[in-house]
Amino acid sequence: MSPAVPDPSQDTIFGRILRGEIPCDQVHADEHCLAFRDVAPQAPVHILVIPRRPIPSLAEAQPEDAALLGHLLLVAASVARQQGLEAFRTVINSGAAAGQTVFHLHVHVIGGRPLTWPPG
Ligand code: AMP
């Protein structure tokens, strides 16, 4: 699992956050990922966990990304615990038709209110 520096040639707003060019409300950072509060929260707790390596979407993840993807999920659970959530939802939108708007892979961690299923 190599902690690559974000590549400006594949830039998104999350690349700019990773490079410190725009601020975020950070709740976790380590060698491989960053977690921060979503700017348009859909629940009392809404956090995004993003890899430092800019994989555009889950659909484009490769076998060599397996450890990194596992790490993102473990951080998502850790952040949920840190926020005092007993129940929470993790979401990875992959592709515009599935609601993805930022093409830098991210895990949504959502909680703090009852969540219905199925989502829209
Ligand atoms: P998605 O629609 O799954 O691609 O999710 C992208 C998320 O990024 C949305 O929930 C946005 O509200 C969030 N977002 C966009 N810009 C920022 C930002 N500068 N800081 C925090 N969250 C952001």
13 lines ligand 1 (CB under 6 A): yes
pLDDT mean over 92-115: 98
What pLDDT score does 110 carry? 98
Q: Provide the mean pLDDT of the chain.
A: 94
Distance 95 CA to ligand 1 centre (A): 14
pLDDT in tens, 38-90: 999 999 999 999 999 999 999 999 999 999 999 999 999 999 999 999 999 99
Best substitution site from 18, 42, 48, 109 to test ligand 1's pocket, by max atoms within 8 Å of Cβ?
48
Report the distance separating Cα 83 and Cα 90, nearest Å. 14
CATH code for the domain in which residue 22 is found: 3.30.428.10
In this prediction, residue 6 has a pLDDT band, given cuts at 50, 70 and 90, of very low
- Would residue 43 count as lying in a domain? yes
Q: Which domain holds residue 80?
A: 8-111
Q: Is residue 3 part of a domain?
A: no
3-state class (DSSP) for residue 68: helix
- Predicted confidence at residue 120, as pLDDT, reads 79
Q: Give, in degrees to the nearest 5, the angle at Cα 46 between 36 and 24.
A: 25
Token pair 């909680």 in the structure block, residue: 111
